């Protein structure tokens, strides 16, 4: 029996894929992306001492788009207290994102990552995905998708992290 199963298991093992999703309690990985408007490289380590709401989005993803007004409100409310909302755009065509941002102007940091370096580093499982990173650069919460109902909880956990 074992002899029968072992080649099967071996072949499955051979073709299996490893998953390294960033989970809570881990350090936020560094990755390469550039400012959407001036191409300056984004370095998350510059934001140590701040609470970061890191969002992965694309203009073709309806929940990503619907999250933007709420994220902008969150940014306007909490930016002065040390919260940085950073949204990494993953559109294949930058013009699609430009068109959306013209329609929905936001004040928070937008970054562009055409190559997908950052979602690979974080192993993004859904769009949008957001990571709440504390003042020391540790991922404290991961949210898959966006639900308006969760906003209150997100806001509360950000406030808790601010007070740490």
- Which positions touch another protein (CB under 8 A)? 4, 7-8, 11-12, 14-15, 17, 56, 58, 60-64, 90-93, 96, 116, 119-120, 124-129, 144-146
For residues 17 and 149, which CB has a smaller minimum distance to another protein in the complex?
17
DSSP state of 46: G
Shortest distance in whole angstroms from residue 98 CB to another protein? 14
CA dihedral 61, 68, 108, 24 (to 10 degrees): -70
Q: Which residue has the tokens 């990985």?
A: 29
Measured from the CB atom, is 43 or 93 closer to another protein? 93
Distance of closest approach, residue 7 Cβ to another protein, in angstroms = 5
Query: Rounded to the nearest whole angstrom, what is the least distance from the CB of residue 116 to another protein in the complex?
Result: 6
For the bound state, the minimum distance from the C-beta of residue 160 to another protein, rounded and expressed in Å, comes to 26
Nearer to another protein, 104 or 107 (CB): 104
As a whole number of angstroms, the distance between CA 142 and CA 70 comes to: 17
Pick the closer one to another protein by CB: 93 or 153.
93
Kindly state the smallest distance separating residue 57's Cβ from another protein, in Å: 9
109 versus 122: smaller Cβ distance to another protein? 122
Q: Which long-range contacts (CB under 8 A, 24 or more apart) does 71-76 make?
A: 71/106, 71/108, 72/106, 72/107, 72/108, 74/151, 74/154, 74/155, 74/158, 75/106, 75/107, 75/108, 76/107
């Amino acid at each position: 029996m074992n002899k029968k199963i072992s080649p099967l298991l071996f072949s499955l093992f051979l073709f299996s894929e490893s998953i390294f999703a960033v989970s809570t309690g881990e350090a936020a990985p560094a990755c390469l992306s550039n400012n959407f408007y001036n191409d300056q490289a984004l370095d998350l380590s510059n934001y140590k001492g701040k609470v970061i709401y890191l969002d992965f989005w694309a203009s073709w993803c309806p929940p990503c788009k619907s999250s933007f007004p709420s994220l902008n409100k969150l940014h306007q409310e909490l930016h002065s207290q040390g919260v940085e909302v950073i949204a990494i755009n993953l559109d294949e065509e930058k013009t699609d994102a430009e068109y959306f941002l013209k329609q929905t102007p936001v004040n928070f940091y937008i970054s562009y990552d055409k190559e997908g370096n950052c979602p690979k580093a974080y192993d993004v499982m859904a769009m949008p995905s957001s990571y709440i990173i504390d003042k020391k650069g540790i991922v404290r919460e991961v949210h898959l998708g966006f639900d308006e109902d969760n906003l209150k909880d997100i806001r509360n956990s950000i406030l808790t992290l601010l007070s740490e």
